């Protein structure tokens, strides 16, 4: 069983949240399987996936505690509660909604609200966010932006999202990110449509290696 502390610990340890956003529930399940095969055991199913709750239920039943399953693109407290009942162990939002943070805390589930500006980042943290999803990070400077935010907010666990690749993962974690979240850069939709799941598995392995490299570099520096 996942406690909040155990879930947050795994996100920090793995260093990557795989964002799964597909056009069908079947593709979402296949993408999740390929990512898990590649060594990423933290997966976020976005609510934009058709029958997203069904996907979460299927993955939760199949993998149990072997995978930390989250729900993404949560826009309101009602969706948050439904996702948790379907098996989501952490909640991710694209923007700051204090009500979602409150219900996540009520059920002792980690919440990663989206924020971008310094005001939004600290507002999310003060509202009880466990980690803050900095989105869209790549469009505003990437690693340089994370480093700038960590100056005044060293206590905030940041998870940058947007334009995250294996290469930028190294830079982002060295800049102070606790983990990164990767979507289209990880889940290759063309490969998925063609049934080339090994392409996605290989991408997952590259992200895992990037986290190892970034932490090895950070310790050496």
Buried residues in 164-184 as b, exposed as e (16+ CB within 10 A): bbbebbbbbbbbbbbbbbbbe
Reported as a pLDDT band with limits 50, 70 and 90, residue 1 is: confident
pLDDT in tens, 62-97: 999 999 999 999 999 999 999 999 999 999 999 999
pLDDT digit string (tens) for 7-28? 999 999 999 999 999 999 999 9
Please pick, among 44, 89, 171, 185, the residue that the annotation labels catalytic: 44
Per-residue pLDDT at 219 exceeds 80? no
Specify whether 102 is catalytic. Answer: no
Domain 4-220 = CATH 3.40.50.150: no
Q: What is the pLDDT of residues 188-207, one digit of tens each?
A: 999 999 999 999 999 999 99
The answer on pLDDT for 213 being more than 60 is: yes
What is the distance between the alpha carbons of residues 68 and 17, in angstroms, rounded to a whole number?
Answer: 9
d(CA 46, CA 151): 31
Give the count of beta carbons closer than 10 Å to the beta carbon of residue 216.
11
Each residue's pLDDT tens digit, 106-137: 999 999 999 999 999 999 999 999 999 999 99
Which pLDDT score, from 0 to 100, does residue 217 have? 57
List the chain domain ranges: 4-220
Pairwise pLDDT comparison (219 vs 29), residue with the higher score? 29
CA separation for the pair 176, 171 (Å, rounded): 9
Statement: residue 221 has pLDDT above 90: no
To the query of whether residue 44 is one of the catalytic residues in this protein, the response is yes
In the set 33, 89, 133, 171, the catalytic residue is: 133
In the chain, % of residues over pLDDT 70:
98
pLDDT in tens, 177-186: 999 999 999 9
| CB hemisphere CA count around 53 (13 angstroms) | 10
Instruction: Specify whether the CB–CB gap between 92 and 74 falls below 8 A.
Output: yes
- Neighbour count for residue 149 (Cβ, 10 Å): 26
């Amino acid at each position: 069983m996942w406690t909040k502390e155990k879930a947050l610990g795994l996100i920090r340890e793995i260093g990557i949240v795989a964002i799964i956003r597909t056009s069908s529930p079947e593709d979402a399940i296949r993408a999740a399987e390929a990512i898990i095969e590649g060594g990423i055991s933290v997966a976020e199913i976005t609510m934009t996936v058709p029958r997203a709750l069904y996907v979460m239920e299927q993955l939760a039943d199949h993998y149990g505690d072997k995978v930390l399953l989250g729900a993404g693109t949560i826009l309101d407290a009602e969706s948050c509660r439904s996702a948790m009942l379907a098996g989501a162990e952490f909640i991710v939002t694209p923007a700051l909604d204090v009500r979602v943070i409150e219900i996540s805390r009520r059920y002792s589930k980690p919440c990663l609200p989206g924020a971008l500006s310094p005001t939004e980042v600290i507002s999310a943290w003060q509202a009880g966010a466990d980690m803050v999803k900095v989105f869209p990070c790549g469009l505003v400077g990437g690693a340089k932006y994370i480093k700038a935010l960590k100056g005044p907010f060293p206590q905030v666990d940041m998870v940058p999202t947007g334009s995250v690749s294996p290469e930028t993962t190294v830079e982002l974690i060295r800049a102070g990110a606790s983990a990164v979240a990767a979507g289209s850069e990880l889940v290759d939709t063309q490969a998925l449509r063609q049934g080339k799941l090994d392409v996605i598995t290989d991408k997952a392995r590259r992200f895992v290696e990037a986290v190892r490299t970034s932490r090895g570099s950070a310790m050496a520096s």
